[in-house]
Structure 1
């Protein structure tokens, strides 16, 4: 039987547009889109941003009528093709930028596991205290971070990184999109977007913090946040992303 040579056809992301929820005066909140943006930054991919304003968050009027799924984040290529969903789109960008272990199936599995676990964080936080008085909601979220479901997920993440990562990386000993998922989703957790989640929720987890510091100090990522005005950093809940550079080594 002859050798079979596979040809990889990479997506052309140059000049694409990233669409996600926006805040007044902001082109896009970090949320589930930030790790995609950062993968593009690391890959040297120029992109534009479109922020869906709050009145349209539910209807998603800017994306729903012209796409298959009507969900964000969404990346629109210059060809007109759209990519939707945070996990699937992050994988596509990672594979096109060398941030995904294409030819090591076990490492690829670990990267996928890590991203999937990080994506459950929002699903865990949002329902906690939903429909309750503000004080009750905040108290329940604080408890979840200190001893409940969120704390358990962070414990699992800490163990996972200890078992599968090295040198401040989540999987293996070099930067992958798994590191971006850890950095972005944990930063979102403590960045002020979720009422009641204490800013100290990650303090008991030095391995997670090491990944956050590592990613925040990558020169291209540091430059990305340095280019965002301070007011915009605070308005879009990104200040904590930049602050991760200065975390103390444990």
Structure 2
């Protein structure tokens, strides 16, 4: 049985959404704390690394970093494998997701519109296709409809959430449907989207 869990983030999907979805899929009750930017500014220095999301366990233990939290809740939810090799494979995909986030993140704080356009066009035409190509090749080797093994893991949820974030059109000059060009990855995304508990969460939020 899972302890009392509280997920703290902003009132948006982004980095907390894979955590929320993992808990929802696992039928694990949790407190969904959503802060305003002003509240975060007041509380920031009380958090382990001054960042969100965080997970508070039994009102006392605080865990930071999205993927550390995902591994923890994934064990309760049945979304993190017990087999050490499959664990390592999930971990490698989570690590690669951070590489993708880093590539995108470099373009988020550029204020010069001409430079940002150039950065985003390179991201869209070269960087992301190359990175997604690596993922496509790896996922195609098993072709189970999931990134690791033959059932849903937190790695698949991260991919699904990233695709959903792109489809919101948040990155100027990057096609929101860029993942459509990678059929194996899109099959995984559709498998997550078709999960009944994911549907229920999306309808409620």
TM-score (norm 2): 0.89
The structure in which a higher percent of residues are helix is: 2
**Residues 75/63 of structure 1: CA separation in 2 closer, same or farther (3 Å cut):** farther
Residues 101 and 108, structure 1, Cα contact 8 Å, conserved in 2: yes
RMSD value, Cα: 2.1
Structure 2 portions without partners, runs of 5+: none
- Tell me which of 79, 86, 91 is aligned to 1:112: 91
Q: Is residue 150 from structure 1 mapped to residue 128 from structure 2 by the alignment? A: yes
Q: CA deviation at 1:135?
A: 4.7
Q: Deviations over 1:130-157 (max 9, x none)?
A: 43532541343133222x2222111111
Q: CA deviation at 1:116?
A: 1.1
Any idea what SS the aligned residue of 1:49 has? strand
Q: Is residue 188 from structure 1 mapped to residue 165 from structure 2 by the alignment? A: yes
Q: Deviations over 1:191-233 (max 9, x none)?
A: 22333321121121111111111001100000100112xxxxx
Whole-angstrom CA distance in 2 between matches of 1:85 and 1:130: 21
Q: CA deviation at 1:50?
A: 2.2
Structure 1 portions without partners, runs of 5+: 1-9, 23-27, 229-250
Residues 129 and 140, structure 1, Cα contact 8 Å, conserved in 2: no
How many residues align structurally? Answer: 205
Q: Is residue 210 from structure 1 mapped to residue 199 from structure 2 by the alignment? A: no
Any idea what SS the aligned residue of 1:145 has? helix
Q: Is residue 77 from structure 1 mapped to residue 57 from structure 2 by the alignment? A: yes
Alignment partner, residue 139 of structure 2: 161
Q: Deviations over 1:2-27 (max 9, x none)?
A: xxxxxxxx7x344x22111x2xxxxx
Whole-angstrom CA distance in 2 between matches of 1:198 and 1:134: 18
Q: CA deviation at 1:175?
A: 0.8
Residues 115 and 182, structure 1, Cα contact 8 Å, conserved in 2: no
Q: Say which one has the larger Rg.
A: 1
Whole-angstrom CA distance in 1 between matches of 2:182 and 2:39: 37
